[in-house]
Structure 1
Amino acid sequence: MTIDELVRRTLREWSAEADVPPGDLAGAALRRRRRNRLRMFAVVAGATATVVAAAVTVPALVHGEGPPGNDEPVVAVVAEPDPSRETAADPESSPPKTLVAAGGVAAYSFYTWKEEKISADRQVMKLTWSRYNRDSGVYERTPWAWLDVVRGGEAAVFLEEIPATRVGVLTGRGAEVRWIALERPASAVRMSPDATRLLLTNYSANPDESYIPVDNGQRGMPQSRIGFTVVDLDGGRSVFHAVAADQEAGFGGRNDFQWSDDGTLVWENHSSASTTRKYYDLEGKERPAPSREAETHQRAGLSPGGTRLAVESPDRSAIVGIQDLSTGETVPLAAVAGYWIEQAVAWADDERLVVWACERKGAQVCVGGEFRNRLLLVGLNGGEAVPLSGFRKNSQQEGESWTPVFTDR
């Protein structure tokens, strides 16, 4: 495959799916197989957590099956940030067995996916989550249907099933799980950047179900999203806001809400001539998009120092570009040390990026196909690329690929 062919294909697919920013190329393959339910899992589009409180008082958290409203406060100690900035890699494994981390970020969790038939004409997409265990030093599979790991890797929030009527809060190694009962069922949960609130996307039915295609035909499932709930962990306040899915946006299935970078707004994927995101305040009122934040589909987004933005390359010499926000100049980020860069995943620091990249030999780009790729640590000024994981399989079969979720260390 030539460079021009790869870039043209990628840009065409992004254009066709402009309402759903691709989390990774494996996800794009998944969407091509299931056009009737264009969707993006919240974990691949959301921003990473940035600040974690040392302790929070959570009056509304309750243990076991009881309803919220426990009068005795529960102090939930959240893990301190990991001070380490050393690179951790497992270049021979895909998915990794040991921690993948670089600079200020780490993949404390990852997920694989599998389509399961549930009736004669329906199927459901199920994610299998793995989480890094500091005690064992390896990733361990979890029983949870949805997971968001907080900065430092020890605290986490999760859902037992999709949809779920309660959310679990795990506050550290060996800590007891505390439960928050939900007024309306939810199918996704994310901790706020300052680790004081939860954002849950509410659905009346499982958004991961779809019809099985028959004779190459596609039938979309009814859209079931009903809104979002914000839970204030410190005060115990839980408020639901009704925001139905846009019936004209083309989303069949998931359209989860995400936190804005500073945690003051939430956003959803949206298809229009002017934007791919629609923003709301925490009261459910539509608000203008923050400057820069909605200007890119690259998952890495803004650099830690706020000086650079990972964007789409303005020409076909590359897929990824790095924009200097002081000058507005964008420099394509293409090949490095035998690899072709496909997506900017996370900033390790202001000078280094974690990226998905495929192998390149001479004029041949993406040896084995664009979905045979691995995580690399690359510098913006060139230099050696450091492999962080093994190569993902170049296959569209369920359960054969994985997606990392990077969080601040």
Structure 2
Amino acid sequence: MKIDDVVKDTLGRWAEEATVPQGLADRALRRRRRSRVRAFAVMAGATATVVATALTVPALVQPSGGEAGVILAEGKPADDPAISLTGPPEVSADPDATPPTKLVATEKTAMYAYYTWDNEKISDTRQILKQTWYLYNPDSATYEKTPWAAVDVAAGGHVAVLEEAQARRVGLLGPEGQVRWIDLEQPASQLKWSPDGRKLLLVSYAANPNEQGVFDEDGSSREIVPVTRTGFSVVDVAAGQAFFRPLPAGGDAWGRSVDLHWSDDGTLIWDWDTGSESSPPPRRFYDLEGRPHAAPPDPADTGQEAGLSPTGRFSAIHSPDRSAIAAVRDTSSGAITPLKPVAGHWIEQAIAWSGDDHLITWACELKGSAGCEVSEFRNRLLLVSVDGRQAVPLTGFRQNSQKPGSWEPLFARR
């Protein structure tokens, strides 16, 4: 469904050439690896045809009021003849709010949900990571707090939930808020829709994976409790059946080797081989029975959460040179376009695709050629074209993405 408010202003050109400050790219990659401390999953995958029996939330509609503010590279006026008149896709945004209250979406992709995170004290020496989830409600035209411990959204807005940290059933939300429950053989803490929206992957752990050890008062960790994976369940949504398969794994200091993810085509699952000295580490693949499997073609980690575009034409990758952190690679020609600073912003991380021509990214304010104006952890969601010449702010700036009280988005294709 198209969104009513169309961005009417023109967009800008590249900002002046700049050099990424020393160490910023490495810090961005380290932050990406640390994200499992705050998150279960970020949805990514091929365009999906969701099964008819999967329940869904109502179709998204754009809330009234507020256009996405358009930012122009180099501060040129909108009537400057040198600026391209090619407009972006239709956009709904809340560029002055963090977290957003109005719908954040493009014609192809929507932020169906987000969560805030905090540290909850459970004893004098232990704390757990507490996530509070918010789902977009088109009736109220805002994001509303939910009681769920974990949420994932498939293409089209199909929502799956877990009701507690180690849940014995998974729920599928209906359009009127009703829940269809599917029982699990083993408790699960992590859930992810398959790329085609027909299956769910749930991961089981020996203990609550949100228990992260001893924290300082500012939320920074002084001790990490390793997370131990016991196995996984695959849920056939149409049949309402789940099967569990053992797949033990010990965790490193940040639990990178224990979380499981779908392959791009949904036929395999994978985790990180953290025993490797390469950075990022390679992926280990398994079939849906938990047996080791050869890697599919071109399975290398791209360094960017967005991965492949919907048709596979482009891939969001870690930039191979020092002029940018993220880049776009044409998968047929191999041509690489670094996402250089644009309109006063560093592009830090590509997190989701909007069609094949735009990326949703995290970006911080640019301070000349010396890096971020305040901090790499103070950033906002920015819609960027694949050539890097257009940029539209989608949200306001998070004050510090690494501290309690911050928020993380959950995007899915519409």
* TM-score above 0.5: yes
SS at 1:279 equivalent: strand
Indicate whether 1:377 and 2:387 are aligned: no
Matches within 5 A, 1:327-346: 327-346=333-352
1:204–1:224 contact (8 Å) kept in structure 2: yes
* Cα displacement string for residues 125-147 of structure 1 (whole angstroms, at most 9, x for unaligned residues): 01111111111111011111100
* Cα displacement string for residues 332-379 of structure 1 (whole angstroms, at most 9, x for unaligned residues): 111111111111111112221111111124334311111111111112
The share of aligned pairs that are identical, in percent, is: 46
1:48–1:406 contact (8 Å) kept in structure 2: no
Indicate whether 1:291 and 2:297 are aligned: yes
Change (3 A) 1:79 1:109: closer
How far apart in 1 are the matches of 2:272 and 2:39?
Answer: 11
**Partner AA of 1:279 in structure 2:** F
Query: Which residue of the partner structure matches residue 55 of structure 1?
Result: 52
Residue of 37, 40, 43 corresponding to 1:42:
40
Indicate whether 1:408 and 2:413 are aligned: yes
Indicate whether 1:9 and 2:24 are aligned: yes
**Partner AA of 1:106 in structure 2:** A
Deviates more, 1:2-11 or 1:264-273: 2-11
Indicate whether 1:198 and 2:200 are aligned: yes
Indicate whether 1:22 and 2:22 are aligned: no
Query: Which residue of the partner structure matches residue 366 of structure 1?
Result: 372
Change (3 A) 1:117 1:78: closer
Query: How much does 1:167 deviate?
Result: 1.4
Query: Which residue of the partner structure matches residue 263 of structure 2?
Result: 260
* Cα displacement string for residues 162-216 of structure 1 (whole angstroms, at most 9, x for unaligned residues): 0112211113x204212122221111112222222221101121011132158x9
2:137–2:143 contact (8 Å) kept in structure 1: yes
* Cα displacement string for residues 38-62 of structure 1 (whole angstroms, at most 9, x for unaligned residues): 7473323x42473243522xxxxxx
2:103–2:143 contact (8 Å) kept in structure 1: yes
How far apart in 2 are the matches of 1:147 and 1:379?
Answer: 29
How far apart in 2 are the matches of 1:354 and 1:222?
Answer: 32
Change (3 A) 1:160 1:365: same
Change (3 A) 1:98 1:81: closer
Deviates more, 1:268-277 or 1:140-149: 268-277
Query: Which residue of the partner structure matches residue 303 of structure 1?
Result: 309
How far apart in 2 are the matches of 1:318 and 1:280?
Answer: 33
How far apart in 1 are the matches of 2:384 and 2:357?
Answer: 9
TM-score by length of 1: 0.81
How far apart in 2 are the matches of 1:182 and 1:355?
Answer: 35
Change (3 A) 1:405 1:126: same
Matches within 5 A, 1:111-130: 111-130=115-134
1:307–1:324 contact (8 Å) kept in structure 2: yes
Query: How much does 1:82 deviate?
Result: 6.7
How far apart in 1 are the matches of 2:58 and 2:401?
Answer: 39
How far apart in 2 are the matches of 1:355 and 1:285?
Answer: 35
How far apart in 2 are the matches of 1:395 and 1:55?
Answer: 37
Residue of 211, 214, 218 corresponding to 2:213:
211
* Cα displacement string for residues 216-235 of structure 1 (whole angstroms, at most 9, x for unaligned residues): 99544253310101111223
Deviates more, 1:119-128 or 1:270-279: 270-279
**Partner AA of 1:321 in structure 2:** A
2:381–2:395 contact (8 Å) kept in structure 1: yes
Query: Which residue of the partner structure matches residue 69 of structure 1?
Result: none
Query: Which residue of the partner structure matches residue 85 of structure 2?
Result: none
Query: How much does 1:388 deviate?
Result: 0.6
Deviates more, 1:120-129 or 1:303-312: 303-312
Query: Which residue of the partner structure matches residue 138 of structure 1?
Result: 142
How far apart in 1 are the matches of 2:28 and 2:389?
Answer: 30
Query: How much does 1:22 deviate?
Result: 1.1
Query: Which residue of the partner structure matches residue 229 of structure 1?
Result: 233
**Partner AA of 1:156 in structure 2:** V
SS at 1:335 equivalent: coil
Query: How much does 1:395 deviate?
Result: 6.1
Change (3 A) 1:53 1:352: closer
Q: List gaps (5 residues or longer) in structure 1.
A: 32-37, 57-75
Residue of 149, 166, 171 corresponding to 1:163:
166
Change (3 A) 1:91 1:12: closer
Query: Which residue of the partner structure matches residue 71 of structure 1?
Result: none
How far apart in 2 are the matches of 1:343 and 1:217?
Answer: 23
Query: How much does 1:9 deviate?
Result: 3.3
Deviates more, 1:366-375 or 1:267-276: 267-276
How far apart in 1 are the matches of 2:22 and 2:319?
Answer: 10
Query: How much does 1:310 deviate?
Result: 0.8
**Partner AA of 2:44 in structure 1:** A
Change (3 A) 1:273 1:328: farther
**Partner AA of 2:408 in structure 1:** T
How far apart in 2 are the matches of 1:131 and 1:88?
Answer: 16
1:39–1:254 contact (8 Å) kept in structure 2: no
Change (3 A) 1:316 1:77: closer
* Cα displacement string for residues 14-44 of structure 1 (whole angstroms, at most 9, x for unaligned residues): 3xx5xxx817xxxx5xx6xxxxxx7473323
Query: Which residue of the partner structure matches residue 67 of structure 2?
Result: none
Change (3 A) 1:49 1:208: farther
How far apart in 1 are the matches of 2:27 and 2:61?
Answer: 41
Note the aligned Cα RMSD (angstroms). Answer: 2.9
